Amino acid sequence: MPRSILLSLMLWLLEIFFVAALVSVDWLRSVQRTEDAMIVRYLGVAKDAEIRRTAQNWFDRLFVRTGARESVYRYFIPSEQERQSSVGFQDVGRDNLFPFIAGRIQVLWDSVHQTLRRFFLLLAWWPFLLAAIVPFAADGLARRRIKQSNFDYSSPLAHRYSLFALFGILYLLLVGLTFPFPVPPQVMPIAGVALAFALNVYLAHTQKRI
């Protein structure tokens, strides 16, 4: 299991790398506009504005006010003063290499901003998630107690695969935060129901003695 988790995280980081290397700024912003339109249609203008505001506040707090965003640009792209002090190399990469690097960095920061917006969109569904998981979890625990009392069979296969389903759904939600295509807002309630069902099966088929 730890090896599978490590591999999954490596695949997620590889996805982020390919997004930063291959996706254009215009494409990423087009994806965000499409998502915004879907959120407005599904959750309303007020909720969309609240998610935008919260994500922007956290982005500014974490990366703008701390100077992290500006530091990344300064690290990879020389300033005009640094160019002039590099005699003979003032114009190296000015019109090709460094504009390309600046574009890739912009894609990276736009991806971070988009990730924050999707994260707060997921958080907006927490009441629904709580309402879905609590009864399913209670039912799973009740079924387990019944199995303990009447010596009913607890399937180790169902127990194992429901655990895989739990991790798989959570991983897909994690990947979805950085997915370079529009992610509909309906994904979270569907994932919430799937999580609740998998948790129900996992608890119901947990071994009688722990």
Residue pLDDT tens, the chain, 210 long: 566 667 777 777 777 777 777 778 888 889 888 998 999 998 889 988 999 999 999 999 999 999 888 888 887 777 767 666 665 556 555 666 777 888 888 888 888 899 999 999 988 888 888 888 999 999 888 888 877 776 666 678 888 888 889 988 988 888 888 888 888 888 888 998 999 999 998 988 887 554
Residue 148 resides in a domain:
yes
Residue 199 and residue 139 share a domain: yes
Residues spanned by the domain of 80: 19-124
Question: Residue 210's pLDDT is what?
Answer: 46
Residue 97: CB atoms within 10 Å: 11
Kindly state whether residue 9 falls inside one of the protein's structural domains: no
Question: Both 34 and 117 in a single domain?
Answer: yes
Let me know if residue 105 belongs to a domain: yes
Task: Note whether 24 and 119 are same-domain residues.
Answer: yes
Note whether 23 and 120 are same-domain residues: yes
pLDDT for the residue numbered 101: 81
Structural domains counted in the chain: 2
Query: How many Cα atoms occupy the beta-carbon half-sphere of 204 within 13 Å?
Result: 20
Instruction: Name the residue among 206, 185, 156, 145 with its Cα closest to residue 48.
Output: 185
| Among 119, 94, 104, CA closest to 176 | 119
Written as six digits, the tokens of 69 are: 């965003």
CB 98 within 8 A of CB 77: yes
Of the residues 102, 124, 146, which one is the last residue of a structural domain? Answer: 124
Last residue of a domain, one of 90, 124, 158: 124
Domain shared by 85 and 98, yes or no: yes
3-state secondary structure of 179: coil
Q: What is the pTM of this model?
A: 0.80
126, two tokens: 């927490």
